[in-house]
Structure formats: structure tokens, C-alpha cells
Amino acid sequence: MPDRGYLGEFELMLLLAVTHLGDEAYGVPISRELERQRRRDVSVGSVYAALERLEAKGLVVSSLGDPTPERGGKAKRYFRITQQGLRQIHETRRVLTRMWQTIPEAKLDMQLES
């Protein structure tokens, strides 16, 4: 049985991005997706470091594609989410949703105004 550790914010975003991109999930689209959603610059090196952490946990797997001329003959590294990664996403969402539901709307609005 794997450890049931919850995902960090950046890791959760990465997993969601990989899931969203499907077969086209490699470094550039993943970074762009994150930049688009977060509306700020992302370090590609940090993206790779986090993806490797997720890979070590067994939440994603990677495979090298064919080299292309526009990349200087360098291959793309495609990432794919595993069943365990999907379970982890659902578990994190379930916990977050439950916690959100315990907080009244009015209280949140009051905090924002202050």
C-alpha cells in the first residue's frame, strides 16, 4: 500500500495539467498551461524537478519521444498520469472540498474585505 501523502499546491497543478494535456504533455505545454492558469512566469527547470518528484512517487510516468529539428535534435519527454496519480488527485480534491464546505461564505467575504 503506497503512502497516502497529500499533494502540494504546485504538484497538484502539475498533475492536473498533465491530465488535461493527455498525450501532448511534455515540458513546454505543461509550463505554458501553468503560466496561463497562474498568470505568471514558470521555471521549466522547476517543472521538471517537480515532475521527477512525482515520478519517483509513482504518480506519473515518462517516456522519450522522437527528436525534432525545431528543438535542435532534442527529444521530448512525455509525461502521463498513473492510476495512483488519479486516485491521489481525487483524494486531494475530496479533502479540499470537504474543508471548503466547513467554512461559511460570509466569513470568507468578511476576511477578503478586511
Least distance to other proteins from the beta carbon of 1, Å? Answer: 9
Q: Contact 89/9 with Cβ under 8 angstroms?
A: no
Judged by CB under 8 A, does residue 37 bind other proteins? Answer: no
Give the Cα separation of 82 and 60 in Å (integer): 5
Binding of residue 23 to other proteins (CB under 8 A): no
The interface mask with other proteins, positions 55-94, x = CB under 8 A, is: xx-xx-xxxx--xx-xxx-xxxx--x-xxx----------
d(CA 105, CA 88): 27
48 touches other proteins (CB under 8 A): yes
Q: Which is nearer to other proteins, 20 or 77 (CB)?
A: 77
Helix (H) or strand (E) holding 108: helix 105-113
Q: How far is the CB of 86 from other proteins (least distance, A)?
A: 10
Establish if 19 lies at the interface with other proteins (CB under 8 A). no
Q: What share of the chain is helix, strand, coil (3-state, %, to 5)?
A: 65, 15, 25
Among 35, 37, 23, smallest CA distance to 79 is for 23
Which residues are at the interface with other proteins (CB under 8 A)?
Answer: 2, 26-28, 31, 43-46, 48-49, 52, 55-56, 58-59, 61-64, 67-68, 70-72, 74-77, 80, 82-84
